[in-house]
């Protein structure tokens, strides 16, 4: 039965070791529920984080679905033939999807600020949550990443706002609609629309249909903030009439835009131009994409009525999200950076931001195309162009790429050849350890090693740093 029972006390989460489901485990525990969780493979950091909160995860087993459970929350990656799902159905225990549970237990009685779009969701959500918190509004938030100001991806507080990252990916095996349909936002950000999630969307038109339905369902009193330079989003907004629709980006005709960016090692400055704010802004981040993310956040916060000087103060102390241009360490004047980029547009923006801000002598990109979309040849040509500005590209063959049909599979050999034709030196590797050995031998002082993957990449960041440190010791 797909609904939440009244007075639920004992709750079990299936597939609880992921970032989002693990955060939901902790939130429910903080609210006083008795929480258990399971997954296929229990691993840090989420397993250790939950253990510190008194939640021990176990491997999938039908014994986990005990008779005293009031509710089971089923993760997006769980199939209908999962052993615990089958036991849940057999025992007729109530169940919810993750977004249903978040809305039911935390969001439904608050003013929801939801950030959607193909790129920049996590960072934009993080900036909004930080500004609201800094300005004393005591927001709750739920983000698909670790907020470095809070060292977690969620917060439950007493304020009236709930800030959430709204995902277009499907909800669960029993609900194929996008996750963002489960929320009723008072303020909706759309950061742009590109093709992604090729495992569930067959075309960009299907993605546009989902976003179009979201826009059409929005309350007429809601505020909508849309990026002005996304062709697909611009097309979608034609004829849309919302009194509170505003555009942000780089077009001077938009409600808010930026000019005169200045990039440096500690962050960036830009002129924020709008009817209510015309001032020089400092953001301790890099890259043009983060200016867009910042403009969206400023637009939302001004609409709430937050003082512009307070917004500027808050931005100065924003620490960012983990795995978003995160400097993991430095050895022998060689810096290692971690980024979640996997879509070709994200790869291009990340490279551009690092080049402008850190100005490395050489930029070495380490890339693992591990998503269901990036392993397909949909973006074969786009990937070749997205690495412009790199001096060396190390490509790792994803373990699961063989599951993609050969006629649909991204050709890593062709990507390597295409990059070399553009005078970008590239190498193809089968394992992360091969990359570590190669970089340890070939990196030089002044290099920046930019690791881009949506996966853990076998802990390659620490392996590179450890290898460089040992090399430094031997040289001494």
CATH number belonging to the domain at 326-475, selected among 1.20.1440.230, 3.90.190.20, 3.10.20.30, 3.40.50.300: 3.90.190.20
* Interatomic CA distance for residues 381 and 377, integer angstroms: 8
pLDDT, position 470: 82
pLDDT, position 36: 94
- SS3 call for 240: coil
Q: H/E/C letters for each residue in 343-369?
A: CHHHHHHHHHHHHHHHCCCEEEEEECC
- SS3 call for 44: coil
CATH superfamily of domain region 10-98: NAD(P)-binding Rossmann-like Domain (3.40.50.720)
Cβ pair 219, 186 in contact under 8 A: yes
- Phi, psi dihedrals of residue 385, rounded to the nearest 5°: -85, -20
* Interatomic CA distance for residues 182 and 195, integer angstroms: 22
Token representation of residue 400:
């699961």
How far from 265 is each of 270, 445, 450, CA to CA, in Å?
15, 17, 15
Q: Where do the domains of the chain lie?
A: 10-98, 109-316, 326-475
* Interatomic CA distance for residues 91 and 83, integer angstroms: 12
Q: What is the Cα gyration radius of the chain?
A: 23
Q: Mean pLDDT in each 10-residue stretch from start to end of the chain (476 residues)? A: 86 90 92 93 76 88 94 93 95 96 95 93 94 97 86 91 92 90 95 79 87 87 92 86 88 94 86 91 88 96 95 92 79 86 82 83 89 80 87 89 83 90 90 90 91 79 86 71
* Interatomic CA distance for residues 323 and 304, integer angstroms: 29
Q: Are strands 175-178 and 170-172 parallel, antiparallel or unpaired?
A: antiparallel
Cβ pair 96, 32 in contact under 8 A: no
Model pTM?
0.86
pLDDT, position 198: 64
CATH 2.40.160.60 is the classification of domain 109-316: no
- Closest of 205, 179, 178 to residue 194, by C-alpha: 205
**Consecutive H or E run containing 155:** strand 152-155
């Amino acid at each position: 039965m797909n609904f939440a029972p009244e007075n639920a006390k004992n709750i079990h989460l299936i597939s609880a070791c992921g970032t989002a489901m693990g955060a939901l485990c902790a939130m429910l525990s903080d609210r006083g529920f008795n929480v258990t969780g399971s997954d296929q493979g229990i691993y840090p950091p989420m397993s250790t984080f939950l253990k510190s909160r008194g939640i021990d995860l176990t491997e999938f087993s039908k014994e986990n679905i005990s008779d005293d459970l009031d509710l089971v929350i089923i993760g997006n990656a769980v199939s209908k033939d999962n052993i615990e799902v089958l036991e849940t159905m057999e025992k007729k225990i109530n169940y919810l999807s993750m977004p249903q549970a978040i809305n039911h237990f935390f969001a439904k009685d608050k003013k929801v600020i939801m950030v959607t779009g193909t790129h920049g969701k996590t960072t934009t959500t993080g900036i909004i949550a930080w500004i609201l918190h800094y300005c004393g509004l005591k927001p709750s938030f739920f983000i698909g990443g670790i907020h470095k100001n809070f060292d977690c991806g969620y917060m439950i507080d007493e304020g009236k706002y709930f800030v959430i990252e709204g995902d277009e990916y499907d909800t669960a095996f029993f609900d194929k609609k996008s996750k963002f349909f489960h929320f009723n936002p008072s303020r909706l950000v759309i950061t742009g629309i590109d093709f992604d999630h090729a495992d569930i969307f067959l075309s960009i038109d299907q993605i546009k249909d989902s976003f179009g339905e979201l826009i059409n369902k929005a309350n007429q009193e809601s505020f909508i903030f849309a990026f002005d330079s996304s062709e697909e989003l611009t097309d979608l907004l034609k004829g849309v009439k919302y009194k509170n629709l505003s555009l942000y980006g780089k077009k001077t005709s938009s409600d808010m835009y930026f000019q005169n960016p200045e990039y440096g090692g500690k962050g960036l400055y830009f002129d924020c131009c709008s009817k209510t704010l015309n001032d020089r802004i400092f953001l301790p981040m890099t890259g043009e994409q983060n200016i867009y993310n910042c403009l969206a956040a400023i637009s939302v916060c001004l609409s709430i009525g937050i003082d512009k000087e307070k917004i500027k103060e808050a931005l100065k102390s924003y620490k960012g999200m983990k795995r978003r241009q995160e400097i993991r360490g430095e050895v022998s004047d060689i810096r290692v950076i971690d980024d979640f980029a996997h879509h070709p547009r994200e790869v291009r923006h990340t490279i551009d931001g690092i080049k402008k801000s850190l100005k490395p002598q050489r930029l070495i990109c380490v890339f693992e195309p591990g998503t269901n979309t990036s392993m397909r040849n949909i973006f074969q040509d786009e990937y070749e162009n997205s690495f412009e500005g790199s001096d060396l590209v190390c490509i790792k063959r994803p373990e699961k790429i063989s599951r993609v049909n050969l006629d649909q599979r991204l050709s890593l050999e062709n990507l390597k050849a295409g990059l070399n034709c553009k005078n970008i030196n590239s190498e193809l590797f089968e394992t992360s350890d091969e990359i570590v050995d190669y970089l340890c031998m070939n990196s030089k002082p002044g290099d920046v090693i930019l690791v881009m993957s949506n996966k853990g990449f076998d802990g390659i960041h620490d392996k590179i740093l450890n290898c460089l440190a040992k090399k430094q010791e031997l040289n001494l």
